[in-house]
Amino acid sequence: NFSRVTEFILLGLSDTRELQLLFFTLFLLAYTMVLLGNLLIMVTVRTDPKLSSPMYFFLCQLSFIDICYTSVTAPRMLVALLSGHKAIAFEGCMAQLFFLHFVGSSEMFLLTVMAFDRYTAICRPLHYTAIMARRACWALVTACWLGGFTHSIVQTVLTLQLPFCGPNTIHSYFCDILPVVRLACADTTLTEWLMASNSGLISLGCFLVLVASYALILAKVRAHLVRGHWKALSTCASHVMVVTLLFVPCIFTYLRPAGTLPSNKYVCLIYTTFSPMMNPLIYTLRSDEVKESM
């Protein structure tokens, strides 16, 4: 009597055709800004020798991750809004789930590394060049990708072990852990707690590390109010804006079991679309070097 679900239905953001066309226009513009803005940053950093410091190296990596992160959900959402086709195959849903958490958690780790880079530059300037050597930077970026892959494969394996035989309607515009787990034909209490402790604690842990690093930077700047430190603090302010857009919605979404509160697909838009879109604007407007290079 067991029948396996072969596809899911993504309800999207709205059933009204006029709103679907409006959402399509808005998110097409947002996705275009994500692609063009982050590609511009990558090309600028790669082609200008003056932007060879670790900070811009990590910024280039962040732009690449943002393009990948948004591309996991945005193209599928745009096609569904325009055509009205809301079905996604089971395999495609699991792939979207895997890459969403793979790239998303890698970005969280990278933002933590960027905070460590700023802390080292401000609080240990004499040792900065030795600590943040090019080989160390590549090792940190590699660790971010490996950490993201480990996190994502755990989430995906836990999901694939669940039986899906009943409803297949997902109240969102993409496949994510919480909406998919709710559709399983089994008691998912333990799985939900494992997933919450995985995704939620990663988000919270990285966020607390970031807050601690900014607190130390602020204490350092208050003790040495010189021009160079104010410039570094300005850079950190833009970093705080990115962190807030990404981590706060993620903590709200993932630091709880699936059945405690209904998921909010509009909250998900903040970290899947608007955060990657704001990164190029925040970093270019706050960095004179990048603007001059462009």
pLDDT band at 51 (very low <50, low <70, confident <90, very high): confident
Percent with pLDDT over 90 in the chain: 23
- Alpha carbons 252 and 200: distance in angstroms, whole number: 8
Cα gap 180→156, rounded to integer Å = 11
At residue 103, the pLDDT reads: 94
- Whether the per-residue pLDDT at 107 is higher than 50: the answer is yes
* Average pLDDT score, the chain: 83
Which two tokens mark 45? Answer: 């950093």
pLDDT band at 194 (very low <50, low <70, confident <90, very high): confident
Q: Average the pLDDT over 191-220 and give the result.
A: 82
Any domain includes 193: yes
Q: Assess contact for 134 and 272: CB atoms under 8 A.
A: no
Instruction: Report the predicted TM-score, pTM, of the whole model to 2 decimal places.
Output: 0.87
| Domain membership flag for residue 2 | no
Question: CA–CA separation, 242 vs 237, rounded Å?
Answer: 9
Q: Which residue has the higher pLDDT, 275 or 154?
A: 154
Average pLDDT (147-164) is 90
CATH number of the domain to which 131 belongs: 1.20.1070.10
Q: Percent of the chain beyond pLDDT 70? A: 89
Total domains, the chain: 1
Is 1 part of a structural domain of the chain? no
Q: Where are the beta strands (DSSP E) in 90-215?
A: 169-170
Residue 235, pLDDT score: 61
| CA distance linking residue 2 with residue 254, whole number of Å | 30
**Contact call for residues 98 and 158 (beta carbons, < 8 A):** no
- How far is 24 from 79, CA to CA, in rounded Å? 9
Query: What pLDDT was estimated at residue 1?
Result: 46
Per-residue pLDDT at 225 = 55
> Which is nearest to 164 in space by CA: 287, 2, 1, 278?
2
Q: Is the pLDDT of residue 262 over 60?
A: no
Whether 64 shows a pLDDT value over 90: the answer reads yes
Per residue in 241-259, pLDDT (tens digit) is: 777 878 888 888 787 665 5
- pLDDT reading at 110 higher than 90: yes
Distance (Å, whole) CA 54 – CA 124 = 14
What's the domain range around 54?
7-293
